[in-house]
């Protein structure tokens, strides 16, 4: 059972009651609106009947009701259908039909709307209806629904109709299918509110002029019965489809249809020039004309809508590309297949001190130093010979005389239609600082080799080099605020016992193997590995925080463990190492030695805790702690 505290509060109950009342009021309003609209459209369609008891040439009701269903939220579908059924019954009873006949027509109409709605896609705007899959589903329902509803109507009223069954079914199908195809999209435009876009500023004048042109031309064509001007009525519709949005096209088709049907029913228009045997023949010809108008205008409008969408996407893509290119830290370029520049991003002004417009038309290889020109030209030529991408490091001379090292990445652009190379895109990255650092590092390495800063046993750097590099990196990090400096100290577990059991020669070889494993575990050229003394090793990791140093230390520990060097005096049966890690941002008054001391204390903590593990030194306000 629920607890008393779980009962709804009075405020919550009041809110729930208000919400239900609001939904009920909206539902009743929808029912009343649908009833009125359905009744009016039924009566309007009834006035178009050519002969008493025959099928109306255009049946508006089902299209308007289907459009309302497609635009309405699911919670109002039942209200719409109820209003549609009541409106149908009311209209048929108002014109004097019996209850049986009124119910038969109403049942057939509601069934037709339901079948078409089952096939219809769920859309929020009319443009979604023109997507291929959605349009196929909609047209399938438009074709199937009138057949089923027509069969039902003929079955219910067969004894009352004087004409044969097949012509009645054909008339029903043509008028209802045509109405669903033309008026449903137009009804959606009204029910979704898109028709209000026609009155908005921007293209309002153009839309108004085109709709006026449709009305005037259609009136001229169907207001006279002397000249066969029928297909002139299609021209303004085509112009409307080419220049206006889909909502305007549907309103124009609706306007053309209303004028054409109105004049034809009054005995005027081009269909009265030809000697049709009956009014039904003229109505059928009018229906064919309206189908042709729909079949011409809608595909054109759909293609134009898709074209405009693609143009918008293309413009948006170009805008995004320019934003990225103009704000990138690299120089973004486009060039012809011979290397002549066609586009250069504004970054060139900052990096190369040359305005982008001054580089347009210049061959890219001509911008580099003479010694690098041929290599760069070969890279570009290789792209035209089959390579899809390439890169090249070249030197450029700025206008102030400074030499820049630039790494350029090239990519070939293939024409999607011909499959042939069309252009080359490139990005140039300034690597001058990296090159200077690499050169300085090479010089230092040469100097160290000359000074014999190497350990004779392991080939690693010795403690002297370790201390020198640590002092320099600590000083640079402190001066330029470059971040952390990390030290990792490693010591071979039970090494004295290993020497006692296997001899000093085996002990030396063990150190050499471990040294190679530690050196191979470091990935960056700036990482320094040294034999610190005896069986102890040290690593200096530049720009590495505590977590990064711990990852490196654990990688080293696993590498040594995976060597599986036998050690019967060890508790694990193999040679292992213990490690201590310390990382800190340089502070005023401190020296790099504080890192070594902290890492050393962490190392011996790892020894005390059982060896073959890594401990990390933490720096706080009171100094380092483990």
> In sequence order, what are the beta bridge partners of 584?
485
Q: Which residues contact 224 (CB under 8 A, 6 or more apart)?
A: 268, 269
Confidence of residue 158 (pLDDT cuts 50, 70, 90): low
- Quick one: pLDDT at residue 579? 96
* CA angle 101–104–105, rounded 5-degree value: 90
User: pLDDT tens digits, residue range 483-514?
Assistant: 789 999 999 999 999 999 999 999 999 999 99
Confidence of residue 448 (pLDDT cuts 50, 70, 90): low
In this structure, CATH architecture of domain 328-430: 2-Layer Sandwich (3.30)
> Which range, of 39-43, 249-253, 619-623, averages the lowest pLDDT?
619-623
- Quick one: pLDDT at residue 606? 94
Better-predicted residue by pLDDT, 479 or 242: 242
- Quote the crossing angle between the two packed helices 246-265 and 204-222, to the nearest 10°: 20
Domain boundaries, given as residue ranges, for the chain: 10-192, 196-327, 328-430, 449-625
> Which range, of 44-58, 358-372, 433-447, averages the lowest pLDDT?
44-58
- Quick one: pLDDT at residue 167? 66
Length of the chain in residues, anyone? Answer: 626
Q: Do the Cβ atoms of 341 and 426 come closer than 8 Å?
A: no
User: pLDDT tens digits, residue range 381-414?
Assistant: 888 887 888 889 999 998 888 999 999 999 998 8
Tell me yes or no: is domain 10-192 CATH 3.40.50.
no
pLDDT at 4 over 50: no
- Quote the crossing angle between the two packed helices 99-119 and 60-71, to the nearest 10°: 50
- Quick one: pLDDT at residue 27? 84
- Quick one: pLDDT at residue 216? 94
B/e letters for 74-98, b = 16+ CB within 10 Å, e = fewer, are: eebeebbbbbbbbbbbbbbeeeebe
- Quick one: pLDDT at residue 341? 93
Q: What is the mean pLDDT of residues 13-33?
A: 76
Q: Do the Cβ atoms of 521 and 541 come closer than 8 Å?
A: no
Confidence of residue 112 (pLDDT cuts 50, 70, 90): very high
Average pLDDT, the chain: 84
- State percent of the chain over pLDDT 90: 33
pLDDT at 436 over 80: yes
pTM for this model (two decimals): 0.50
Compute the distance between CA of residue 138 and CA of residue 617 in angstroms, rounded to an integer. Answer: 71
pLDDT at 179 over 70: yes
Residue 71 burial (CB count, 10 A): 22
* CA angle 572–576–577, rounded 5-degree value: 140
Q: Which residues contact 364 (CB under 8 A, 6 or more apart)?
A: 333, 335, 339, 340, 341, 376, 380, 408, 426
- Quick one: pLDDT at residue 52? 32
- Quick one: pLDDT at residue 491? 95
pLDDT at 450 over 80: no
* Run of H or E including 300: helix 279-327
User: pLDDT tens digits, residue range 243-267?
Assistant: 887 778 888 888 888 898 888 878 8
Q: Do the Cβ atoms of 140 and 181 come closer than 8 Å?
A: no
> Which range, of 33-37, 61-65, 521-525, 557-561, averages the lowest pLDDT?
521-525
Q: What is the mean pLDDT of residues 607-625?
A: 78
- In 291-420, DSSP assigns E strands to 331-335, 341-344, 389-397, 403-414
> Which range, of 311-315, 354-358, 422-426, 617-621, averages the lowest pLDDT?
617-621
Q: How many Å separate Cα 445 from the centre of its chain? A: 50
> In sequence order, what are the beta bridge partners of 529?
539
- Quick one: pLDDT at residue 609? 92
pLDDT at 7 over 60: no
pLDDT at 624 over 70: no
Q: Which residues contact 280 (CB under 8 A, 6 or more apart)?
A: 50, 51, 54, 171
pLDDT at 548 over 50: yes
pLDDT at 218 over 60: yes
Confidence of residue 222 (pLDDT cuts 50, 70, 90): very high
Compute the distance between CA of residue 115 and CA of residue 174 in angstroms, rounded to an integer. Answer: 16
Compute the distance between CA of residue 401 and CA of residue 138 in angstroms, rounded to an integer. Answer: 70
Compute the distance between CA of residue 234 and CA of residue 260 in angstroms, rounded to an integer. Answer: 12
Q: Which residue, 259, 67, 35, 69, is CA-closest to 181?
A: 67
Compute the distance between CA of residue 509 and CA of residue 84 in angstroms, rounded to an integer. Answer: 96
Confidence of residue 32 (pLDDT cuts 50, 70, 90): very high
Confidence of residue 561 (pLDDT cuts 50, 70, 90): very high
pLDDT at 621 over 50: no
Residue ranges in 451-589 assigned as alpha helix (H): 463-480, 495-502, 504-521, 546-563
In this structure, CATH architecture of domain 449-625: 2-Layer Sandwich (3.30)
Q: Do the Cβ atoms of 560 and 576 come closer than 8 Å?
A: yes
Confidence of residue 361 (pLDDT cuts 50, 70, 90): very high
pLDDT at 605 over 90: yes
C-alpha dihedral, 517 to 520 to 522 to 528, nearest 10° = 80
- Quick one: pLDDT at residue 213? 93
């Amino acid at each position: 059972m629920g607890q008393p505290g779980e009962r709804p509060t009075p405020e919550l109950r009041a809110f729930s009651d208000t919400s239900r009342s609001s939904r009920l009021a909206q539902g009743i309003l929808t029912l009343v609106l649908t009833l009125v609209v359905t009744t009016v459209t039924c009566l309007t369609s009834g006035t178009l009947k050519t002969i008493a008891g025959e099928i109306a040439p255009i049946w508006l009701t089902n299209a308007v009701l289907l459009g309302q269903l497609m635009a309405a939220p699911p919670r109002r579908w039942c209200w719409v259908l109820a209003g549609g059924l009541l409106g149908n019954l009311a209209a048929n009873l108002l014109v004097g039909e019996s209850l049986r006949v009124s119910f038969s027509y109403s049942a057939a109409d509601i069934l037709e709307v339901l079948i078409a709605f089952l096939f219809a896609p769920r859309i929020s705007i009319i443009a979604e209806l023109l997507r291929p899959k959605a349009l196929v589903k909609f047209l399938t329902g438009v074709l199937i629904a009138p057949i089923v509803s027509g069969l039902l109507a003929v079955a219910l009223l067969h004894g009352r109709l004087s004409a044969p069954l097949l012509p009645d079914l054909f008339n029903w199908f043509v008028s209802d299918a045509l109405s669903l195809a033309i008026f449903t999209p137009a009804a959606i435009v009204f029910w979704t509110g898109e028709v209000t876009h026609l009155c908005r500023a921007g293209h309002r004048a153009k839309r108004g002029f085109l709709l006026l042109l449709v009305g005037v031309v259609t009136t001229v064509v169907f207001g006279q019965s002397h000249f066969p001007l029928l297909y002139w009525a299609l021209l303004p519709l085509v112009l409307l489809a080419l220049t206006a949005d889909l909502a305007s096209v549907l309103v124009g088709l609706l306007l053309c249809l209303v004028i054409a049907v109105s004049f034809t029913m009054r005995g005027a228009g081009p269909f009265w020039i030809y000697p049709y045997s009956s009014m039904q023949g003229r109505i059928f010809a009018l229906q064919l004309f309206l189908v042709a108008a729909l079949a011409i205008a809608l595909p054109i409008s759909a293609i134009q809508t898709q074209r405009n969408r693609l143009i918008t996407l293309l413009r948006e893509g170009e805008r995004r590309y320019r934003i990225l290119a103009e704000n990138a830290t690299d120089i973004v370029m486009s060039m012809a297949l011979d290397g002549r520049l066609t586009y250069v991003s504004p970054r060139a002004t900052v990096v190369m001190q040359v305005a982008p417009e001054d580089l347009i038309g210049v061959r890219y290889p001509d911008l580099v130093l003479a010694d690098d020109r041929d290599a760069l030209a070969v890279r570009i030529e290789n792209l035209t010979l089959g390579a899809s991408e390439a890169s090249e490091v070249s030197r450029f001379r700025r206008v102030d005389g400074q030499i820049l090292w630039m790494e350029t990445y090239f990519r070939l652009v293939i024409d999607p239609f011909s499959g042939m190379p069309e252009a080359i895109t490139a990005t140039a990255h300034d690597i001058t600082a990296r090159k200077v650092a690499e050169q300085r590092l090479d010089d230092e390495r040469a100097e160290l080799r000359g000074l014999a800063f190497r350990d004779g046993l392991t080939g690693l750097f010795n403690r002297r080099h370790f201390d020198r590099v640590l002092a320099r990196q600590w000083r640079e990090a402190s001066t330029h605020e470059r971040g952390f400096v990390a030290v990792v100290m490693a010591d071979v577990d039970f090494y004295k016992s290993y020497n006692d059991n296997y001899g000093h020669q085996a002990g030396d070889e063990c150190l050499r193997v471990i040294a190679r494993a530690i050196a191979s575990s470091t990935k960056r050229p700036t990482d320094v590995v040294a034999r610190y003394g005896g069986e102890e090793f040290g690593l200096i990791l530049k720009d590495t925080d505590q977590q990064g140093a711990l990852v490196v230390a654990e990688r080293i520990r696993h590498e040594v463990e995976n060597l599986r060097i036998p050690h019967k005096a060890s508790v694990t049966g193999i040679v292992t190492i213990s490690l201590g890690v310390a990382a800190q941002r340089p502070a005023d008054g401190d020296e790099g030695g504080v890192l070594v001391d902290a890492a050393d204390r962490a190392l011996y903590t790892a020894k005390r805790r059982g060896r073959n593990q890594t401990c990390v030194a933490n720096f706080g306000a009171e100094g380092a702690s483990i």
